[in-house]
Structure 1
Amino acid sequence: MEVVLSAAAGDLVSRFFSFLIGRYSEAPCSEEKHAERLQQLLLRAQMVVEEADGRYITNSGMLLQLKMVARAMYHGYHALDTFKCNQLIREGTKEVMSSGSFASYLATPLKRSRANAGVSNHQVDNNCDLQDALLNLETVVSNITEFVILLGGCEPMFRRPYDTYLYVDNCMFGRWTEKQQVINFLLQHNPRASPSVLPIIGGYLVGKKTLVAHVCNDEKVRSYFSSILHFNGDNFHMVETERCTGRALVVVKLVSEVNDEDWKSFYWAVTSISTESKVIIISRMESLTRYGTVKPIHLSRLPDEEYSYLFKALAFGSAHSEDHPKLTLLAGEFIKLLDGSFVAAYSLTNGLRTNLSLQFWLSMLKRYKNVTKNNLSMFGEHPSDRFKKRCAVDFTNFLPFPRCSTTPYASSN
């Protein structure tokens, strides 16, 4: 009996080790298959998202599903890029990491005053699991049939060829749902025979004015209103009603509290233009939502996956990031330094996109790292924090590159 048990135990142990060996030997192959499958699903998801961006969607359920598809798509792209970058590091360690300056930029951490802000040591952030992203996207895509059918019945937007050619610069990354919500608000009849008011609330430089600018540039919106007026807290009470006829879209940017009597006077002036006029409030102050007649739209900074997608789309332009694996790896280092800043992303990528050589990108990364280091040393703050406070930022190290000026940072949003 003991001999039988011993033989059985030995067989089980042997099978267990065989299972472990087989599992880990097949893991790379499995990862490759997951990456290939994820790439295929991402193409399908991207087609749906881009098609939806060119349609007027009035169904709130469809807008919610569009947001889910977009999030799964960004998550998938982030996971795929992370996998490819880690694969580049693992497989090309001798060639890539021991080759002079390229390795030094990835190996030297930058001390910063916040957690998780340094440049990694030969590693790419691997919080995003390839298999989880694949499962998430498969679930979303498998339930997308009805959405695509309904999308075909939505009215297409008019786009000039120029807009199509510059699609990357004109699309709203991560703001499709909000853009559609604003357009739907503007094109609906006012239910109370008085101007409807939509507050758009969000932090500094999260894209509030950009969102409204894209909406105001929509052909259907422009043809619906006879005039589009822009005011701020200093002059919003100076609406010249006699110079306006027909429906008016009034956009008012408020950076401080407003007196209720001043608001009543402003609202009466807008009403006297037309009861079908609309008002959009742009502000960082939650208290101003009290003037809204509809549910406010709140904007926050983009999630990391969406910001990563935005930066790479802007940096590579019409080129494919797959053709530049080392630059994709460097893009991750830029993203860590920029701390989610829209302005910094657009300013830097304007230069990066013009020259897709490794040496140029390394030079730009070195300069921006020095800018960040100098500001941390001089002010004890990251440049993005100083932008938000509208404080001076030292850009001395960027002076040799005229494309990367500090001028855009003076604007507020």
Structure 2
Amino acid sequence: MSSDLREFIMLLQSCQQISRPLAKSIFRDGQMFGRHVEKERIINFLLHTRGGSTGEVEVLPIIGDDGTGKATLVQHACDDARVRRHFAVIMLCCTYTITADRGTPVLRSKRSIGDGGINLNDPMQLFKGQLWDKKFLMVFEDVDMKKMQMLEGLLPSMGCSKEGSKVIITTNNRHVGALGTVDPITLKVFPFPEYWFFFKAHAFAGRDVEENLRLVSAGKSIAMKLNGSFFGAKIVGAVLRDQSDPKLWDMVLRDVAGLSLLGDAIAHVWDLADNLLPG
């Protein structure tokens, strides 16, 4: 190290540190926090095909509690340029009830990337015509046991699709993972220090965290009750972001203290936000 650089570093170390709170949250809506290893695992699954034709479409289950970032993770994987180039069509689908007259699943597509000629209103018909010669990716979100039964009837019809076509399913039920043709990706709750960093960025954006230790204490207690839910951190963080009254923070803490396990608490978090957010 040169003497000039050493003197410059010593000068910086002698300067008083100035705390500058963020002007706004450092996380945009839909921005992924962590999960980069899992994202690359998804992309690797999408871009590579198993050797030898098995007559079935490859299915990757992604399992995790509600609010742990499954949808955001899949979104970022699907938005990767390599994935977009690889598939002619990428579709995000929802499953509904079984029709009474025909006994077949009714599908609706929420989003499609790729071929503009694809009929989004009836994805079931795609396998009979539009998709038979195209390499596609279909994502089924929030698959529960009832939807699992529907997919058990649907997935075999995809076996005649173009080689390399893939399916991703997201679920909070490990039994749904049996639909997979490869090992599932399981999203675990982040350790509290990492989750606290995420929650703090949403709840304290624009403020010096250390200026009010009572808010910090209440914030940590709230974050612990949210049990690693990114969704909960965003919603509750939005409630608290512009509030400096410790009484409000204590009220939120009392409310979330009654939350059950994460999977049963999402509706409660929504109700909390509806009650506390203005308008």
What is the TM-score when the length of structure 2 is the normalising length? 0.65
1:286 aligned to 2:174?
A: yes
What SS is found at the alignment partner of 2:124? coil
* Aligned residue in 2 for 1:186: 46
* Aligned residue in 2 for 1:139: none
* Alpha carbons 1:249, 1:277 under 8 Å: kept: yes
| CA shift for structure 1 position 398 | 6.7
State the distance in 2 between where 1:166 and 1:386 align: 24
* Alpha carbons 2:57, 2:165 under 8 Å: kept: yes
1:243 aligned to 2:99?
A: no
* Alpha carbons 2:196, 2:220 under 8 Å: kept: yes
Which residue identity is paired with 1:331? V
| CA shift for structure 1 position 391 | 5.9
* Alpha carbons 2:90, 2:136 under 8 Å: kept: yes
| CA shift for structure 1 position 342 | 2.4
What SS is found at the alignment partner of 1:272? coil
1:298 aligned to 2:186?
A: yes
| CA shift for structure 1 position 392 | 5.7
| CA shift for structure 1 position 287 | 2.4
* Alpha carbons 1:201, 1:298 under 8 Å: kept: yes
Greater strand share, structure number: 2
State the distance in 1 between where 2:266 and 2:130 align: 36
Q: What stretches of structure 2 of length at least 5 have no aligned partner?
A: 1-23, 97-105, 108-122
* Aligned residue in 1 for 2:35: 175
1:227 aligned to 2:77?
A: no
Q: Show CA shifts across 1:278-308 (max 9, x none).
A: 1112122222333322221111222211111
Matching of residues 330-349 of structure 1 within 5 Å? 330-338=215-223, 339=225, 340=227, 341-349=229-237
Moved over 6 A (4+): none
State the distance in 2 between where 1:383 and 1:275 align: 46
* Aligned residue in 1 for 2:118: none
Instruction: Report the RMSD for the aligned CA atoms in angstroms.
Output: 3.5
What is the TM-score when the length of structure 1 is the normalising length? 0.46
Q: 1:192 to 1:402 in 2, by over 3 A?
A: farther
* Alpha carbons 1:352, 1:361 under 8 Å: kept: no
State the distance in 1 between where 2:162 and 2:270 align: 49
State the distance in 2 between where 1:208 and 1:176 align: 12
* Aligned residue in 2 for 1:212: 74
* Alpha carbons 1:205, 1:388 under 8 Å: kept: no
Q: 1:392 to 1:349 in 2, by over 3 A?
A: closer
| CA shift for structure 1 position 330 | 2.1
1:326 aligned to 2:211?
A: yes
Q: 1:177 to 1:395 in 2, by over 3 A?
A: same
Greater helix share, structure number: 1
State the distance in 2 between where 1:219 and 1:336 align: 40
State the distance in 1 between where 2:272 and 2:67 align: 23
Which residue identity is paired with 2:255? V
* Aligned residue in 2 for 1:274: 162
* Aligned residue in 2 for 1:40: none
Which residue identity is paired with 1:197? V
Which residue identity is paired with 1:368? V
State the distance in 2 between where 1:274 and 1:349 align: 45
Report the identity percentage.
Answer: 28
State the distance in 1 between where 2:67 and 2:249 align: 23
Q: Which has the larger radius of gyration?
A: 1
* Alpha carbons 2:27, 2:201 under 8 Å: kept: yes
1:311 aligned to 2:199?
A: yes
* Aligned residue in 1 for 2:278: 402
Which residue identity is paired with 1:311? F
1:255 aligned to 2:144?
A: yes
1:201 aligned to 2:201?
A: no
1:388 aligned to 2:264?
A: yes
Q: 1:350 to 1:184 in 2, by over 3 A?
A: same
Q: What stretches of structure 1 of length at least 5 have no aligned partner?
A: 1-164, 377-381, 404-413
For this pair of structures, how many residues does the alignment match? 223
Q: 1:191 to 1:263 in 2, by over 3 A?
A: farther
State the distance in 2 between where 1:166 and 1:215 align: 23
| CA shift for structure 1 position 256 | 0.9
State the distance in 2 between where 1:187 and 1:166 align: 34
Q: 1:329 to 1:311 in 2, by over 3 A?
A: farther
Q: Show CA shifts across 1:295-346 (max 9, x none).
A: 21111222211111111222344x5x7x441346623422312412322310
